[in-house]
Amino acid sequence: MDTLETLRTLSPLPGPVDLAERYAPPERGRHLRANMVAGLDGAAQRAGLSGGLGNAADRFLFSLLRGLADVVIVGAGTVRAEGYGPVRPVEGWGGLREGRSAVPPLAVISRTLDLDFDAPVFTEAVEPTIVLAPAGAPAERLRAARERAEVITAGEATLDFAAALAALEARGHRRMLCEGGPSVLAGFVAAGLLDELCLTLSPLLLAGAATRILNGPPLPVPEELSLAHALQDEDFLFLRYTRTR
């Protein structure tokens, strides 16, 4: 009773890890990756934001995953809560973006289009920000969005997540990174569209009313992922899970 064949210690391999290689998206086909951080008790926010959960390595990875992406998808709730700016070029990206635009554009998901179209996220974007909205979004807000962004409509009352991804792919954005938040991520998972989850596990216990990294109705069939790798930095774990089927 003192051993279990399937249980083993995760021994870190000595030496540095080539992160660009470890996190390289597949060479072909559409790929949707989410990058999220959570505390040990599952909290996806600290004082209403995600920033207080990570460490320097988490911020490094956040930037690297942007560098590897063709488009960065984010929910309007996160844009509003975190005062999201546009993606800015990072010197350390080096050759990561060879043959591609200097930065991946941001694609913001919204139903109400209750967004500040005069904010830097729209006015200072190196690559024009994209808005993903249902066709039934308020007409006046759609008009305002079109003045500042490329608007893609998919679905009627709510965004059709699959059609939105297909439209992004048709524009050449094959490697997609979703930075949440929890409502949008739940939508992608419910639609069966998530290929990979990069989860930073932060060594904090927070309790309170924070949501988990997915905030949506229960999934009739839980999505089961495979562990691709686990990295450690300080007391943080960087887990990469991929779709099994």
Ligand X SMILES: NC(=O)c1ccc[n+]([C@@H]2O[C@H](COP(=O)([O-])OP(=O)(O)OC[C@H]3O[C@@H](n4cnc5c(N)ncnc54)[C@H](OP(=O)(O)O)[C@@H]3O)[C@@H](O)[C@H]2O)c1
**By the criterion CB under 6 A, which residues form the site for ligand X?**
36-38, 44-45, 48-50, 75-78, 81-82, 109-112, 114, 134, 158-159, 179-184, 187, 213, 215
Nearer to ligand X, 77 or 120 (CB): 77
Nearer to ligand X, 47 or 102 (CB): 47
Min CB(52)–ligand X separation in Å? 9
**Helices within the chain (DSSP H only):** 19-22, 56-67, 76-82, 120-123, 139-148, 161-170, 182-190
Closest CA to 211 of 65, 49, 101: 49
Radius of gyration over alpha carbons of the chain, in Å? 18
Nearer to ligand X, 63 or 158 (CB): 158
Nearer to ligand X, 45 or 129 (CB): 45
First to last CA, the chain: 34
Closest CA to 104 of 77, 75, 74, 147: 74
Q: Are 159 and 146 in contact (CB under 8 A)?
A: no
Q: Are 182 and 18 in contact (CB under 8 A)?
A: no
Rounded CA-CA distance 39/240 in Å is: 16
DSSP E strands, the chain: 31-39, 71-75, 106-109, 130-133, 150-153, 175-178, 196-202, 225-233, 236-243
Min CB(81)–ligand X separation in Å? 4
Nearer to ligand X, 78 or 129 (CB): 78
Min CB(39)–ligand X separation in Å? 9
Min CB(6)–ligand X separation in Å? 30
Min CB(50)–ligand X separation in Å? 3
Closest CA to 76 of 201, 181, 200: 181
Nearer to ligand X, 102 or 157 (CB): 157
Min CB(48)–ligand X separation in Å? 5
Nearer to ligand X, 70 or 179 (CB): 179
What value, to the nearest 5°, has the Cα angle with vertex 86 and ends 59 and 180? 60
Min CB(64)–ligand X separation in Å? 15
